[in-house]
Amino acid sequence: MTNKKTLINISKLNKIYHTDGTATNALKDIDITITQGDYVTIQGPSGGGKSTLLSIIGLLDKPTSGDYQISGVSVTKLSESQMAKVRNREIGFIFQDFNLIGDMTVSQNVELPLIYRGIAKATRQAKVIEVLKRVNMSERAKHLPNQLSGGQQQRVAVARALVGNPTLLLADEPTGNLDSVNGDSVMQLLSELNEQGVTICMVTHDSRYAHLSKRTINLFDGQVVDNTDNEQKNGTSNNKVDDREVAELMPNAITSSASSLVKNTSTVGA
């Protein structure tokens, strides 16, 4: 992995929400590195900061402080239109509830990022056909989203995320609204994409799928409490914190469950 090029580099990143004079630290001093071809799962309990972190990585939100670089370029000071451009060219999103536009057909949904990029029509159409074939949805190109099953909709969402050849694919609970069969199918698809070289960063609650990734990052109360390399055959985390450290980070009342979560996480895929 050391030979691979760094794609995402996050250091000392904080996100604080202010509500009615009360400050909430959603992310605290986050340091994360994601290399090209990586497949990272972000896990943790609700409110742990997973989605906030994914939103910041996807440039849907801005950090309060810290640095965030994509391919060595800091993106924290980008304007809204620059961020939109980076989202369009470098990032593909897959959402839990698919977020397909209901009034558009499958092919129109998939075509949208290319329209925003200003790609010529002929090229757009060729790309759409190609990517729909890739996710086995080419026969449904003229269908509206409500004419598709959940799994099919998520495949379309994956196609839309992939059509612009993004550097990074972000998936937020991609199986959250799917049954196990469709969930497995989508996860299989993501694994295949990663094998083809696509860098993936996924938030999931489902520990069954975390083992499919190469690395698992655990967040708790806005802090990284575990960063495990799933490829290591010995089942130990290269960045594992012991129970004593966990106990320092977590409130007493939930220490035991958090510890077990860390243990569970570290053993996935072993």
Partner 1 sequence: MSNTSNSIETNNEVMSKNNFIENVVIDTRYALARFIAQPITTLIIVLTLALSIGATTAIFSVVNGLLFQATPFKDSERLVILAQQDLTTDQSYGFSAPEMLDYQSQAQSFENMAEIHNMTFTMYGHNDPIRVRTGVVSSNFFNMLNLTPILGRVFTEAEDDIGAEPLVILTYEFWQREFNGQDDVINQNVEFNNRSHKIIGVLPHFPQFPAVSDVYIAIPSCPWRGSEGAQSNRSMRMMTSFAKIKPDFTLEDVNSEVANIAKGLANTYPEAYSANADISAGALSLHDELVKDSRPYLYTLLATTLLLFLIASANVTNLTLSQHSKRKREFAVRASLGASKARLAQLLLTESLLLSLLGGGLGLVFAFLGLDFLKDFAANFSTLASEITIDSTVMLFALVISTVSGIIAGIVPSFTKVNLVSSLKEGGKSSYSTDHGLLRNGLLICQFALSLTLLIAAGLTIKSLNNLQNIDAGFSASNIEILQVDLNWTVYNNAQQRWQISQQILQEVRKLPYVSSSALSMTYPNDTVGANYGSIRQAIQLDDRDFNPDEVLPNTFNRPITEGYFATLDSQLLQGRDFSADDDDKAPNVAIINEKLAKKWWPNESAINHSISFDQGENWLTIVGVVENIHEQGAAVEPSFQIYRAMAQSPTGHLAILANHEGAQPQGTQPQGTQRHEKGNSTFKQDIKKIIAELDNRQPLSKFESLQQAVDNSVSLQRFLAQLLTIFSAIALVITISGVSGVMSYMVNLRTREIGIRMAIGADKAKVITLILSYGIKLTVIGLLIGVVSAYFSGDWLSTQLFDIDAFDMVIYSTALITLLVISTLACLLPAWRASSIPPMRALKSN
Look-up of token digits 């295949």:
192
| Of 1, 73, 254, 270, the one binding partner 1 by CB under 8 A | 73
DSSP string, 65-87: EEEEEETTEE-TT--HHHHHHHH
Nearer to partner 1, 49 or 269 (CB): 49
Q: Edge-to-edge strand order for the sheet containing 6-19? A: 22-35, 6-19, 65-70, 73-74
Beta strand pairing call for 199-203 and 168-172: parallel
Least separation in angstroms between residue 167's CB and partner 1 is 5
| Of 27, 53, 57, 87, the one binding partner 1 by CB under 8 A | 87
* Contact of 107 with 115, CB cutoff 8 Å: no
CA distance 164 to 11: 28
Look-up of token digits 């299989």:
188
* Contact of 160 with 87, CB cutoff 8 Å: no
| Of 32, 34, 40, 70, the one binding partner 1 by CB under 8 A | 70
Site membership for partner 1, residue 123 (CB under 8 A): yes
Residue 250 exposure: Cα atoms within 13 Å on the Cβ side: 25
Give the number of residues in contact with partner 1, rule: CB under 8 A: 46
| Of 14, 16, 29, 85, the one binding partner 1 by CB under 8 A | 85
Site membership for partner 1, residue 104 (CB under 8 A): yes
Map 1-62 to HEC letters: CCCCCEEEEEEEEEEEEEECCEEEEEEEEEEEEEECCCEEEEECCCCCCHHHHHHHHCCCCC
Nearer to partner 1, 97 or 245 (CB): 97
- Binding flags for partner 1, 164-203, as an x/- string (CB under 8 A): xxxx------------------------------------
Nearer to partner 1, 111 or 226 (CB): 111
Nearer to partner 1, 46 or 234 (CB): 46
Q: List binders of partner 1 among 129-168 (CB under 8 A).
A: 160, 164-167
Binding residues for partner 1, rule: CB under 8 A, are 7, 51-52, 55, 58, 60-61, 70-73, 80-81, 84-90, 93, 95, 97, 99-104, 108, 112-113, 115-121, 123, 127, 160, 164-167
